[in-house]
Structure 1
């Protein structure tokens, strides 16, 4: 029986998407790129979902795009552009997702896998995690939009090192570059990822969405994104959750937010 390549589970406001090809180190096929974008776009609009966790099955996050498909699906400039469009759609889905996305990284996080992680909001890894962008070893260019995610997430210096050398860095180097939020021992990794996800899910959804929009606009300096962030922030002051937050504070109780 064929396994589901991108299973999704949802519980208590947290949706988990798993890249599920452990025998191939979670290498991503073209069909999986398309499906991943579809999942993220759908989940971001579901009222009951407040945060997404993206992880790999088994011991690795993802080795990136499945190179075995390149001869047929990325063999010339036209097919390469078409293939790259599916990559970009997945990166964009994560980047533009209105709710936070956490990348839970074990083991290998290479190429397109690193691109996916870079497009997420928060990245947490185990000590054995390894990171690389091997495009220069394959003679191809990394997508411009995804490169922007890497520059934002790891800084321009580290982006240059990763792409120019195609070298690997360990979790500590990724943490030092700012790419990772935390390194957590494997024994406690799932617990820690779950704690962060649940904390986000329990907070006021409109406030979290407004913060994500504001951070994005602060980085992009785009007039449209600044206006969107301002509107999202203004909407929080008209929400039932704002009243609930004040009432809970005054009553010294835990607030229960409804996202409206």
Structure 2
């Protein structure tokens, strides 16, 4: 079993996020040093630190991205093929799953604000949230197969199937085509589409009534929603995704087709 380093303390400087809390609303903005807020190990560590240590008074968590795009997916510079055992990818995959579980199982209501592109892991972070609002320029894409990789990141596939349906998920994964905001709305990748300048107001319109809900009732309702959703998935193979991804990388390293 792979051993992970302990999560960073939240009082340490965050390298890839901007975080602030106003009342019962915790806002997390992806703000990595590279363009597009790519998901690095450092970002996974920061997200885990913030989510694991959020205060008990938090009732809404808002996830957004700085710059022109929400998130352009995993950092290819970190996705090296020089380790025959793909140990680094295995560790990153386990970290990603823990972050994903911290979002999907969060006791607070999670809201994704999506603008620009949400690619690969970026799409995964968005659909891990309970509610999703997108600007009119938002788009989604899963390019993993074109890169020679399975769509196996943190639990994205069962969540995608559960949110949009098996047939639609199959098409998005196998073709890797981009989905614009209006189609994303029709597929339930988004719950609402608004002009870019109104995305904060749309989030506030959701958050304001939620923060007034009785805390115990809110958390029990979140637990029930997650439980009933999980009950529709007879077997969740996402627990094996880190191993599956590492196996593909290792095979590629041994002489398969490089992405």
TM-score by length of 1: 0.78
Q: Does 2:209 align with 1:193?
A: no
* 1:120 aligned residue (121, 125, 129): 129
For 1:134, the equivalent position in structure 2 comes to 143
Question: Whose RCO is larger (CA < 8 A, sep 6+)?
Answer: 2
Mapped to 1, the partners of 2:83 and 2:109 lie a distance apart of 32
Segment of structure 1 superposing worse, 72-81 or 30-39: 72-81
Matches within 5 A, 1:116-195: 116-143=125-152, 145-195=155-205
- Which structure has the larger Rg? 1
Q: Distance in 1 between matches of 2:160 and 2:22?
A: 30
Per the alignment, residue 94 of structure 1 pairs with 103
Sort the Cα spacing of 1:59 and 1:202 in 2 relative to 1 into closer, same or farther, 3 A: farther
Q: Find out whether 1:40 has 2:51 as its counterpart.
A: yes
Q: Which has the higher helix share?
A: 1
What is the CA distance between 1:158 and its match in structure 2? 2.1
Which of 41, 52, 63 in structure 2 is aligned with 1:54?
63
CA RMSD of aligned residues (A): 2.1
Question: Once the two structures are superposed, what CA deviation does each residue of 1:143-200 show, in whole Å capped at 9, x if it has no partner?
Answer: 2622111112222222111210111111111111112110011121111112212221
CA separation in 1, counterparts of 2:221 and 2:39?
31
Q: Hey, what's the Cα distance between the residues in 2 that align with 1:23 and 1:80?
A: 20
Q: Find runs of 4+ consecutive structure 1 residues off by over 4 angstroms.
A: 72-76
* Runs of 5+ consecutive residues of structure 2 not aligned to the other structure: 1-12, 233-259
The 1-side partners of 2:101 and 2:14 are apart by 26
Q: Which moved more, 1:16-25 or 1:114-123?
A: 16-25
Q: CA deviation at 1:79?
A: 2.8
How many residue pairs get aligned? The number is 219
Determine the C-alpha separation between the residues in 1 that align with 2:62 and 2:211: 11
Whole-Å Cα distance in 1 between the matches of residues 114 and 184 of structure 2? Answer: 12
Contact 1:30 1:83 in 2 (8 A): yes
How far the C-alpha of 1:76 sits from its partner, in A, is 4.9
For 1:20 and 1:75, the matched residues in 2 are separated by 32
1:80 aligned onto 2:127:
no
Q: SS at 2:28's partner residue?
A: strand
Residue 17 (structure 2) aligns with: 6
1:107 alignment counterpart: 116
